[in-house]
Amino acid sequence: MKSLMRQTIAVIASALLLACTPLPERDTTPECPELPSTFRLEDLVGTWAASYSLNDSDLLLIRDDGTYTQIYDDPDARRHYESGWLKWDIEFRESNFARLHLNGMRRAGDLDSIFNRESGGVDPELFTAIDYCENEVVEMPDGVVLIVTGATYETPRGIVLRQTRLAGSEWTWSFELMEE
C-alpha cells in the first residue's frame, strides 16, 4: 500500500515538474557545442568515465563491434554493478549532435529506484528525460540515451557524452574519454 502511494505521489510530482519546467529554446549553446567536423564512429570507441560523488565511478567500455559494458562502483554505498556486453547504436541528428543509445544501461547518479531498474533506463511513467541540447523529451524505458556533442574544453577526441536531464532538475552528468 505504501509503495503504491509513493509511486502515485512520484507520478504526480513528475507531471507537475514537467508542466512547470520551461525548456530552453533549441539553439547551439556553449553547453552544447556541435560535433567536430572530424567526428567518426571510431571516436566513440574506448573507456568513458563519469563520477557522481566523491568516491564513485561509472565506466563505459565501448567497442567498435556495437557492444559496450558498464561498470559502476560506489564503495561508500557498497554498490558494485557490472553489465554483460550489451548493444549500442548511434542516431545522427539534423542539429549536428548525435544520440548514443545504450541498451540496458543503468542510469547512475540518481535515485536508487532508477539505478536498480532491471531493464535500465528510466520509467517514463515516473520520470521525463530531456535532451537539453535539442529541447526534446527522450524516452528511455530500456536503456540510456547519451547526447554526443563537441566539447567546450580540451578532450582527447573533442567530444563529450552527456546525460539527459530529468524534468525539474538543472544538473546533468557527462562521460569523458579516459586518456589512452
27, pLDDT greater than 50:
no
* pTM metric for this prediction: 0.82
Q: What is the spatial distance between Cα 125 and Cα 123, in angstroms, rounded to a whole number?
A: 5
- State the pLDDT at residue 30: 58
pLDDT digits (tens, 9 = 90+) for 110-153: 788 898 899 999 999 999 999 999 999 999 999 999 999 999 98
How many Cβ atoms from other residues are within 10 Å of residue 87's Cβ? 13
Cell of 119: 531493464
